[in-house]
Structure 1
Amino acid sequence: MKKIRNIVSALISVSLLTTLNSCNKEFLERRPLTEISELDVWTDPSLARAFVSRMYEEMDHGFAEVMISSLTDESRFIHDYSSSRVVQGNIGPDEHGRAWQFADWGKFFRVIRNANMFFENVETVPFSNDTERDQLTGEVYFQRAYNYFCLLRMYGGVPIITQTFGLNDEEAVQSVTRASYEETVNFIVEDIDKAIALLNEETDRGIVNKPAAHALKSRVLLYAASDLYNKPGNNNSLVGYTGGDRQSRWTAAKNAAWEIIKTGRYSLYQPGDSAAENYANVFLDNGNDEAIFSKLFDRELLGTSHDLYNGPNGYNNWGGNVPLQNMVDAYQMSDGSPFSWSNPVHKAAPYENRDPRFYATILYNGAPWKKRGDNGIGLDPIGVIQTAQYEYWNGSSVQTRWGLDTRSGPIENWNGTYSGYYLRKFMDITLNAQFFRGNQDFIFFRYAEILLNYAEACIELGQDGEAKTYLKMVRERAGMPGADVDNASGDALRNLCRYERRVELAYEGHRFFDARRWMTAEVDFNVAARGIEIYGKLQPDRQTLVYEYTPAAIQDRAFPEKMYFMPIPINEIRINGKLDQNPHYVQTD
């Protein structure tokens, strides 16, 4: 009998542990779990839910060891894992570098196949009522749309497959061709609309509902209206539109965001008086009113290793995805003016008076952080990030010492930052990440993104007044002046909206796609990754340090034109020669 291997792994997953609370115990005891068959799945509602739970497990989230931010100008992954091949433009059909995990053709189509299998069999499942069947079916329409969107944003148009293929369907598999970009967008939107019609308005946290589907639709349509997919004179239907009314696309994007805004159900999270703390807590206070749809982590079961992966080496963490100076320099001053190294005041104290989101996102030299472990508390009883080399008076002469969180530090001289920074965003200051995992949700969709989606669409439609209202909401929650928005128009307003997306959504997985869809990646990603060298000079009083800051290149980077789209994997083309390759990639064999 044909087995479904996904069910076994789903049965030990966190999401399944919640969905199986009402599972029929007698059914599970009837035979070993390894003998659950395809037929069994469609005769028991609990196993059907388990089947769908596996789709949730497959959803990419931002707490992976290699963050997609390290394939952009946001950060660098210090352990490499072939990520350097991506940021230096050295990928091809036979080698995706570390981009594979974000462009996993096989995984996305595996989920799509499972979704199709669900649709072919769901009517046979003996649910207790139609509401239960409709909700689960809506979840699967969402999952199929989401996985097609993951393919679309990486590859452009892809094959639209709505059935499962068996062992005897080799000829059919080899005849599949790529749909156009427009056809793929339309298919995704149709699936989302089907999901919206079936899903409940309210569900438990972590389960797809109507607002989650609307949020996905908002992102899909915003991307579809953007520059990369609407280039004048484009004649390659696989990577963009070849005609049609672009204004109607922006209108559709605006309307999709408005469907969420008009409900009044969500709000920007502001639990306290500190703008920096409010922003930081969006990602720490699970289930807050800004989160639309999230992936849940339970530290008692599987948890998230985000803090361990990215915390400073001076706390015995791995320091994985370290922010770049390129990103640090992007943060405005607190009055809304740009930061500049040519300004002597800025240069002397580059971490003072910055956009409050900087302090909630970046750990920099001198930033307050958590209590050190036993092997560091004697050297740092307060808990302050040390990424500088500095002088000290030993009683008879001036000596130099490397900070505890540098690659030459005395606690761990590996896992240290190359850039002089560590990630603060998403990090739980109360967690000892060396020994414990975190339980922070990863937010796939939140209200701030929807407001920014809406503002961007309004700007492109020439509706500046409407855009300003919602752009100011995001900016003022962050403690930044709304007057900057009031006084901007045209390109200045567009650039301010793009600034807000870059800073507000930093390290959440947006920058990789935003710079591409705006077609700014050839400039933004085509420069060296930079860090900071910091040296603390002891003053004559032998007590005071004055720090000198020197930006420095830490990694060569390049962004050739081909990188706007990922190459179709060569193995897929070997199986099916009718799959056309994306532009600018040499077909290897």
Structure 2
Amino acid sequence: MKNIKPTNKIMVSLLIILSILTGCDNDYFETQPDNLLSIDEIFTNRGQTERWWAGLFSEIPDMWGQPYGGYYYSISTDELDASNHSNPAINSGALNASTTPVNHSVLYQKIRLASIFLERVDDNEEILSQKGGVTIIRQYKGEVRFLRAYYYWLLMKEVGPVVIVPTEPGTPESDFQIPRSTWDESVKFVLSEIEAAKNNLPDDYYLEGTTVDGTQIGRINKIIATAVESQILLYHASPLYNGNSEMTDFRNPDGTQLINSTYDASRWETAAIKAKEAIDIAEAAGKGLFEVEDTDPFRAAFLSVRNLYWDGWEKEGIWIRPSSYTWGWETRTAPRSTPGTAFNYQSPVQRLVDDYRMKDGTSIDESPLYNENKFTNNGTQYYDKGTNLMFTEREARFYANITFNGAKNPGASKAGDSNSRVEFFSSGSSGKASAPRDWPTTGYTARKNIHPTFSVNPKITVNRPGMIIRLAELYLNYAEALNEADPGNPDITKYLNMVRSRAGLPEITTLISQDRMRDEIRLERRIELVFEGHRFFDVRRWMIPNEPGSNQGGPFFGMNMDAGSYLSDPDFHKRTHAFSRTAWQRKFYFMPYGQAEMDRNHQLINFPGY
């Protein structure tokens, strides 16, 4: 395994890290007075050029900033509800071109600034005169070309086929009346740009030999670029984009059909090949699934999946964001029994809770141990005596990801015996009765990525990077694509089992049908990647957002937050309608472009229904 420098160096000495940590002002270059700084001056000065370069990283998303900062995915899908504090327009059906959450203007701004950088950076004699200056500029150009393509990819995930602007920076006289490219054209363009960028990217950034320079974490390398290619090709092969005959009315003004209705089975093979390539290059660089050793196998699985986000990012992280707003995530998600009183409102829906397996790998419907009408006489390090049996004997990820009534506090605890556990029943310490809106609508809160020492006041938080892509995702990408391309291939169970085994689940050892394997892979993505921004897009690309078990609209359920006066109160432990969202509509497959963009570009059409 290649060596990585100590992690206490990752927050220092690199402009990119400064940019991402501080959230570089998106309007920085536009707000510079013309008489103080010109484009020519910027690109003849090393410091200003590198500041421009660093600013181009600032729209890389941070999933742990949710539900704010434009990261609305978990609370708009069947993962979380945050309607006591934040409820996106899509949930109420009020989504339109005026209320769209897509930050297309900012992304197109970054795309334009990237094009200017690529056009002008070779003029910087100050950088070229430095030792290794030619290599520095080549790598900058590779990163910026990748970022330009990646920002298009972010747009494509949300709006589908995109408007691709000329790669040469425009002038006020340029014609920007540009229709959308088709989905296939958009994918071809983005993949060609990433492939070209890879020619200027290193496998990783090294101090010398094979020692990875910890101060360069967050910079784009071939490992990251190949992983993103894997994600793009997986989407490209999926039913929403591959042989979708339901969207033949999605056309440009000239009649061009934007999503190809002819199925191409070879896309799955291409996606599988690229996913395996991404895995191989990552593993060759020393990446692997993070695992903790313990004499108790269940405890080892629990610590492996819980501690991954602060102890395991070096091992498992493929694309790492040097800083992440985990403080905000923890504050909004932890129960009120946390010192300083957290906000206690990011609420998993009952369906997600039910999808977690029992520790032997069976579903709650299959297991004789699952019971919603009885309570345990024995406490554990995961829950207190008196906890409902529906929350006992569950798989390790359940205890790492979901906080339930009777669970041990995920972080630090206020003084008092009752505060060492979580009480969501109505009169409990984190219940509805004593808080106007800081209570979970479903009787659960998210627990994933809350550090066990977390406290609001005194403020105790462990600063840590965020993993935009991690190796477990690549394993699941590969298993999914291979199951569609070559059912029965032994690599399918091999890579799926690697993720299951780390979580303490038994391996799948018997040959099962392609359909059954598809369900297993989809469930694994549901649980393993929960709250990390995948589910919103997965249900869409699989075209299942209105199917039982994955409905994105209608009623959602949880425990009865209006009832309960003690931990084992049966009145609380009743499945109750918690909230409703508008019924699923076909137009919700894609977000709309904003009205301002529609007003400027008369060749731009939105998806039918907006």
Report the CA distance between 1:518 and its aligned residue: 0.3
The residue number in structure 2 matching 1:152 is 156
Output the CA distance in 2 between the equivalents of 1:372 and 1:19: 29
The residue number in structure 1 matching 2:181 is 179
Report the CA distance between 1:16 and its aligned residue: 5.1
Report the CA distance between 1:248 and its aligned residue: 2.1
The residue number in structure 2 matching 1:17 is 18
1:530-559, Cα deviation, whole Å (9 max, x unpaired): 211276687xxxxx9465511111111221
Conserved in 2, the CA contact under 8 Å of 1:426 and 1:440? no
Paired residue secondary structure (2:546)? helix
Change in CA separation of 1:86 and 1:457 when aligned onto 2, cut-off 3 Å: same
Change in CA separation of 1:303 and 1:46 when aligned onto 2, cut-off 3 Å: farther
Output the CA distance in 2 between the equivalents of 1:526 and 1:572: 28
Paired residue secondary structure (2:18)? helix
The residue number in structure 2 matching 1:92 is 96
Report the CA distance between 1:231 and its aligned residue: 3.2
Report the CA distance between 1:232 and its aligned residue: 4.4
Output the CA distance in 2 between the equivalents of 1:240 and 1:455: 29
- AA partner of residue 350 (structure 2): Q
The residue number in structure 2 matching 1:399 is none
1:420 maps onto 2:438 in alignment: no
1:240-290, Cα deviation, whole Å (9 max, x unpaired): 642566222112211111112223232111022311110111112264211
Matches within 5 A, 1:439-454: 439-454=463-478
Matches within 5 A, 1:211-360: 211-233=223-245, 235=248, 236=250, 241-242=259-260, 246-263=264-281, 264=283, 265-273=286-294, 274-285=300-311, 287-297=313-323, 304-315=327-338, 316-340=341-365, 345-348=370-373, 349-360=389-400
The residue number in structure 1 matching 2:3 is none
Conserved in 1, the CA contact under 8 Å of 2:114 and 2:144? yes
Conserved in 1, the CA contact under 8 Å of 2:16 and 2:219? no
Q: In structure 1, which of residues 498, 503, 514 is the aligned counterpart of residue 538 of structure 2?
A: 514
Report the CA distance between 1:160 and its aligned residue: 1.1
Output the CA distance in 2 between the equivalents of 1:293 and 1:185: 21
The residue number in structure 2 matching 1:551 is 575
Conserved in 2, the CA contact under 8 Å of 1:307 and 1:438? no
1:130 maps onto 2:131 in alignment: no
1:51-105, Cα deviation, whole Å (9 max, x unpaired): 122122221210224142011010001334342x312333112222xxx1xx211
The residue number in structure 1 matching 2:73 is 68
Report the CA distance between 1:478 and its aligned residue: 0.8
Change in CA separation of 1:209 and 1:237 when aligned onto 2, cut-off 3 Å: farther
Report the CA distance between 1:528 and its aligned residue: 1.5
* Alignment size in residue pairs: 530
The residue number in structure 1 matching 2:112 is 113
Conserved in 1, the CA contact under 8 Å of 2:272 and 2:485? no
Conserved in 2, the CA contact under 8 Å of 1:341 and 1:347? no
Change in CA separation of 1:314 and 1:304 when aligned onto 2, cut-off 3 Å: closer
Q: In structure 1, which of residues 355, 366, 375 is the aligned counterpart of residue 406 of structure 2?
A: 366
Conserved in 2, the CA contact under 8 Å of 1:313 and 1:414? no
Output the CA distance in 1 between the equivalents of 2:221 and 2:598: 37
Matches within 5 A, 1:33-72: 35-66=36-67, 67-72=72-77
1:530 maps onto 2:568 in alignment: no
Paired residue secondary structure (1:63)? helix
Report the CA distance between 1:321 and its aligned residue: 2.1
The residue number in structure 2 matching 1:459 is 483
- AA partner of residue 193 (structure 2): D
Output the CA distance in 2 between the equivalents of 1:202 and 1:278: 26
Conserved in 1, the CA contact under 8 Å of 2:15 and 2:51? no
1:431 maps onto 2:454 in alignment: yes
Conserved in 1, the CA contact under 8 Å of 2:178 and 2:603? yes
Change in CA separation of 1:130 and 1:464 when aligned onto 2, cut-off 3 Å: farther
Report the CA distance between 1:366 and its aligned residue: 1.4
Conserved in 2, the CA contact under 8 Å of 1:533 and 1:550? yes
- AA partner of residue 256 (structure 1): K
Gapped regions of structure 1 (runs ≥ 5): 1-11, 21-30, 390-401, 539-543
Output the CA distance in 2 between the equivalents of 1:182 and 1:247: 15
Conserved in 2, the CA contact under 8 Å of 1:228 and 1:240? no
The residue number in structure 1 matching 2:191 is 189
Output the CA distance in 2 between the equivalents of 1:116 and 1:408: 55
Change in CA separation of 1:44 and 1:463 when aligned onto 2, cut-off 3 Å: farther
Report the CA distance between 1:36 and its aligned residue: 4.0
- AA partner of residue 87 (structure 1): N
Report the CA distance between 1:438 and its aligned residue: 4.4
Output the CA distance in 1 between the equivalents of 2:535 and 2:229: 19
Change in CA separation of 1:450 and 1:147 when aligned onto 2, cut-off 3 Å: same
Q: Which deviates more, 471-480 or 122-131?
A: 122-131
The residue number in structure 1 matching 2:25 is none
Paired residue secondary structure (1:555)? strand
Conserved in 2, the CA contact under 8 Å of 1:371 and 1:377? no
Conserved in 2, the CA contact under 8 Å of 1:419 and 1:532? yes
TM-score (norm 2): 0.81
- AA partner of residue 405 (structure 1): S
